[in-house]
Amino acid sequence: MTDKIDRRGNSVVIMGQQGDTRNYRVFNVDSEGNIAAKISDRSGAWKAAVIDIDRATEFSGDDVDRYSSLVDLGDDFKYATVFIPAIDSAAVTPYLQRDGQVATVPVASHFWNDADADTNVIQSTIAGTGGITITFFVGCCQYLRLYSDQNQTADRTFYVKGHN
């Protein structure tokens, strides 16, 4: 039994019982809304996400010392694994976009912390100087930017890969 069916772009998300967002399945849908195929274990290619401290601003509120370039993962994916290079000490957070337009303002990626608590938590690394990989839950998203909560003093190239 399912509690919720949610259409997102060319995919449909079918939630598990009690609205448990940790228990869901993603399916591709055709142009008429018919379920075409279950999205299973697959992944995209590695993509560069560059904090380029000299680039022009791209969206309202953009801070070029903190936001990366827009990354198109190539499809809607459940997770994004990020290779974080050596950076000035900072926490890194994925910011998601609903489309691939550079002028779209990205939003922080949150998740429900506990099924028994009515709270959500922003996804982020702890502050550090990089040299790690981390996997974020991005919930069926194709476009994202990475955000550093501290200014970077030089260009930084991160690598991101979407997967289910």
The CATH number of the domain holding residue 100 is 2.60.120
Q: What are the φ/ψ torsions at residue 81 (nearest 5 degrees)?
A: -95, 135
Long-range contacts made by residues 121-125, C-beta under 8 angstroms, separation at least 24? 122/93, 123/93, 123/94, 124/91, 124/92, 124/93, 124/149, 125/84, 125/91, 125/92, 125/93
- Shared domain for 149 and 82, answered yes or no, is yes
Of 69-73, 76-80, 114-118, which one has max mean pLDDT?
69-73
Model pLDDT for residues 7-47, shown as the tens digit of each residue: 555 555 554 454 444 445 555 666 666 665 555 467 899 99
Model pLDDT for residues 98-118, shown as the tens digit of each residue: 999 999 999 998 876 666 666
Number of CB atoms found within 10 A of residue 9's CB = 14
- Shared domain for 17 and 79, answered yes or no, is no
Domain total in the chain:
2
Distance (Å) of CA 138 to CA 1, 5, 25, 60: 24, 18, 14, 22
Number of CB atoms found within 10 A of residue 24's CB = 19
- Shared domain for 34 and 51, answered yes or no, is no
The domain containing residue 17 runs over which residues?
A: 5-38
Residue 9: predicted pLDDT: 56
- Shared domain for 32 and 65, answered yes or no, is no
| Single pTM value for the model | 0.74
